Homo-oligomer: A and B are copies of this chain.
Amino acid sequence: MAREHLIDTARQVYRSYGFAPIDTPALEYAEVLLGKGGEESDKQVFRFTDQGDRDVAMRFDLTVPLARYSAQHIQELGTPFRRYHIGPVWRGERPARGRYREFMQCDFDTIGSDSNATDIETLMVIHDLFEKIGIERFTIRVNNRRVLNGLLEKNDLLQHASGILRALDKLDKIGRDKVVAEMVEQVGISEAQAGNVLDMAMLTGTPDEILTSLDGMLQGSETGETGLSNLQELFGTIRTCGLPQDRVTLDVSIARGLNYYTGTIYETFLGDLPGIGSVCSGGRYDNLAQLFTSQKLPGVGASLGVDRMLAAMEELGMTEKATTPAPVLVTMFERERAADYMQIARTLRQAGIGAEVFPEAKGIGKQMKYANRKGFQVALIAGTDEFASGTWQVKGLVDGSQQQVATEQVVATIEALIR
């Protein structure tokens, strides 16, 4: 129930921005899925030959299927194509806490536009998603790959980019000095050059302060200036739109997705549980479907980590304990009057209140135990006396209250109890 609720929330938020649902098959031709994959992911893929002698595999993410789908259908779909896709993916890796061989992905992407407006809206979707989930304290860390690339370009370090980014990725864990050492010893750049990179990556302050510092560092690099102006527009817009400013920070050190992301990048951390890592990440990419079509399809999107987020919500006590989606249990005492119990349940449902009828005339203790274990909020009780007087006992299972009310008062009484 908690998972369904979380996914429903994501769906609502995505839809409110005009993203439409798509689904693709679990199985794709192996060459479609593995065309781009490195060896590591190849080994993790569930792959087999089917009844028709086709070499097929189970999707290991929703991005490759999106690329295949977009390449195939973009002419009918038109751009911008905004879709969300929520579904399971499979990886044959060793399971661990919060890591399963089957897990749920919950992606949204805007395909076919390189406008920075879509980058900004992606950020807003992430913001609204966590607000709607009910998280008060969270931080979306934003960066733009062009900023770092601009600095590398200016310092004539572009050919060392992947080594520099790899070293930079360890900044949180090993600290500045060791990162500089790695850049010098393993990447082969000078200590001064490494210092420049670290000076930028370690900029702190408000977004405006950092943007001002970046301005000086990036002047003359077209790439860097584009990244900078994209970030300036992003922070300007969230100010105009009134997003709480402490929820969006600029973090020049994040460099996720070495080869994949090319512009804005996002990571989301929970204020009360930063240790579990980013619960929603994404970014802008230059060309989604280059393996499948010559049409260039730039895009931007992000993915909610459903399993990680659920683990976090459980740890934060944010998940409901109830295992019934219906608030009311209609208990049964006289088996031959089952129709009357069902009728009152029906009346409740017609008023929008979920109600389950206990199917057998078991003892009160047993039925109440069932009601409490499942987390019902209200039990309805009627025996000979109540039927004779046209009344019901309404038992509030949360506050322990009990009242005898006329049949026509049952809906209003229960509404007051559960609302």
Q: Which of A102, A335, A357, A373: most chain B Cβ within 10 A?
A: A357
When distances are taken between beta carbons in the complex, the residues of chain B under 8 Å from A23 are 3
> Per a CB cutoff under 8 Å, which of B3, B113, B329, B373 touches A360?
B113
Q: How far is the CB of A363 from chain B (nearest CB, A)?
A: 15
How far, in whole Å, are A339 and B357 apart by their CA atoms in the complex?
Answer: 52
> Per a CB cutoff under 8 Å, which of B43, B335, B357 touches A121?
B357
Contact A102 B15 (CB under 8 A): no
Tell me, yes or no, whether A413 is within 8 Å of chain B by CB. Answer: no
Q: How far is the CB of A207 from chain B (nearest CB, A)?
A: 15
How far, in whole Å, are A18 and B346 apart by their CA atoms in the complex?
Answer: 12
How far, in whole Å, are A115 and B233 apart by their CA atoms in the complex?
Answer: 64
Tell me, yes or no, whether A48 is within 8 Å of chain B by CB. Answer: yes
Interface size class of A (residues with CB under 8 A): 35 or more
When distances are taken between beta carbons in the complex, the residues of chain B under 8 Å from A241 are 339, 342-343, 346
B-contact bits for A308-345, CB 8 A (1 contact / 0 none): 00000000000000011110010010010011111101
Contact A18 B355 (CB under 8 A): yes
Contact A326 B359 (CB under 8 A): no
> Per a CB cutoff under 8 Å, which of B4, B120, B370, B373 touches A21?
B4
B-contact bits for A1-32, CB 8 A (1 contact / 0 none): 10110000001000111111101011100000
B-contact bits for A352-369, CB 8 A (1 contact / 0 none): 001111111000000000
Q: Which of A94-151 contact B (CB under 8 A)?
A: 101-102, 110, 113, 115-118, 120-121, 124, 128
> Per a CB cutoff under 8 Å, which of B21, B43, B325, B341 touches A19?
B325
Tell me, yes or no, whether A69 is within 8 Å of chain B by CB. Answer: no
When distances are taken between beta carbons in the complex, the residues of chain B under 8 Å from A11 are 4
How far, in whole Å, are A392 and B267 apart by their CA atoms in the complex?
Answer: 35
When distances are taken between beta carbons in the complex, the residues of chain B under 8 Å from A324 are 18, 20
Supposing A27-B46, A78-B373 touch, asked if A342 and B102 sit within 8 A by C-beta, the answer is no
Q: How far is the CB of A26 from chain B (nearest CB, A)?
A: 6
Contact A326 B236 (CB under 8 A): no
How far, in whole Å, are A258 and B275 apart by their CA atoms in the complex?
Answer: 56
How far, in whole Å, are A117 and B337 apart by their CA atoms in the complex?
Answer: 10
Specify the chain B residue showing the minimal Cβ separation from A370.
B78
> Per a CB cutoff under 8 Å, which of B21, B124, B326, B360 touches A16?
B326
Tell me, yes or no, whether A247 is within 8 Å of chain B by CB. Answer: no
Q: How far is the CB of A240 from chain B (nearest CB, A)?
A: 4
Specify the chain B residue showing the minimal Cβ separation from A116.
B338
3 smallest A-B Cβ distances: which pairs? Answer: A18-B356, A48-B48, A18-B326
A-B contact pairs, 7 of them (CB 8 A): A25-B101, A27-B102, A43-B51, A117-B359, A121-B342, A237-B338, A242-B343
For the complex with contacts A46-B48, A113-B360, A233-B339, 4 further pairs of A-B residues with Cβ separation under 8 Å are: A26-B26, A48-B48, A117-B357, A120-B342
